[in-house]
Amino acid sequence: MKIIGPIAGVGSRLRPFTFSKPKAFLTVAGKTVLDHILEKFSNTFDPSTELILIVGHKKRQIINYVKDNYMDKFKLIFIEQPPRGYLDGIPFFGGLGEAVYLSNVRFKKQDFKTKEQNKREGSLIFLGDMIPIDEYSYLMYRYFESDVDGIITVMEVPNEDASSYGIVTVDKDSIIQNLVEKPTDFISNLAIAGIYAFSYSATLALFKIIKGYIDQRSENTKEIFLTQSLQDLVEEGFKIEAVKLKQGILDFGRPSELLKGNKFLLTQASVKREDFHKFNITIDRSFIKNPIFLGENTKIINSVIGPFVSIGKNSNIENCILENSVIEERADLQNIISSNSIIGCDVKIKNISKDNLIIGDKSRS
Encode pLDDT of 288-309 as tens digits. 999 999 999 999 999 999 899 9
Nearest to 39 by CA among 57, 21, 51: 51
Angle of the 33-42 helix axis to the 59-70 helix axis, nearest 10: 40
How many alpha carbons lie under 13 Å from residue 29 in its C-beta half-sphere? 23
Rounded to the nearest angstrom, the gap between the alpha carbon of residue 237 and the centroid of all alpha carbons in its chain is 30
88 close to 156: Cβ distance less than 8 angstroms:
no
The CA distance from 357 to 147, in Å, is 49
How far apart are the C-alpha atoms of 102 and 88, rounded to whole Å?
Answer: 26
Give this prediction's pTM: 0.85
* pLDDT exceeds cutoff 90 at 95: no
- Beta-carbon count within 10 A of 359 CB: 22
Residue-level pLDDT at 303? 96
Domain 270-359 has CATH 2.160.10.10: yes
Contact indicator for 365, 22 with CB cutoff of 8 Å: no
pLDDT value at position 238?
96
Q: What is the pLDDT of residue 316?
A: 96
> How many CB atoms are located within 10 Å of the residue 86 CB?
9
Q: What letter does residue 56 receive in the DSSP assignment?
A: B
Class of domain 2-258: alpha beta
CB neighbours of residue 308 within 10 Å: 26
Classified as helix, coil or strand, 358 is: strand
pLDDT of residue 151: 94
Mean pLDDT of 229-247: 91
User: Phi and psi (nearest 5°) for 271?
Assistant: -65, 145
Tell me: pLDDT of 231 over 80: yes
CB-CB contact of 50 with 74 (8 Å) = yes
Those residues with Cβ within 8 angstroms of residue 166's Cβ, 6 or more apart along the chain or in another chain: 179, 180, 181, 182, 191, 192, 227
Percent of the chain at pLDDT > 90 equals 50
Going by pLDDT thresholds of 50, 70 and 90, the confidence category of residue 324 is very high
Structure confidence at residue 105 (pLDDT): 94
How many CB atoms sit inside 10 A of residue 87's CB? 10
Chain centroid, CA 84 distance in Å: 22
Phi/psi at 65 (5° precision): -65, -45
How far is residue 51 CA from its own chain's centroid?
Answer: 15
pLDDT mean over 243-267: 80
DSSP state of 238: -
Q: What is the pLDDT of residue 70?
A: 93
Backbone angles phi, psi at 136, to 5 degrees: -65, -25
What confidence tier does 18 reach under pLDDT thresholds 50, 70, 90?
A: low
Give the pLDDT confidence of 2-15 residue by residue, as tens digits.
999 998 877 666 67
Residues near 56 by beta carbon (within 8 Å), at least 6 away in sequence: 8, 9, 80, 81, 82, 83, 91, 93
Residue 128 has pLDDT above 90, yes or no: no
**Mean pLDDT to the nearest integer, 190-202:** 91
Q: What is the mean pLDDT of residues 73-85?
A: 90
What gap in Å lies between CA 139 and CA 137, rounded to an integer? 5
The residue-averaged pLDDT of 32-48 equals: 87
CB contact at 8 A, 5 and 51: yes
Domain boundaries, the chain: 2-258, 270-359
Nearest to 124 by CA among 50, 13, 19, 229: 50
Using CB atoms within 10 A of its CB, is residue 69 exposed (0-12), middle (13-18) or buried (19+)?
middle
Q: Please state, rounded to an integer, the average pLDDT across all residues of the chain.
A: 88
Cα(304)–Cα(312) distance, integer angstroms: 16
Whether the CB-CB separation of 281 and 296 falls below 8 Å is answered with yes
Q: Tell me, what's the pLDDT at 250?
A: 77
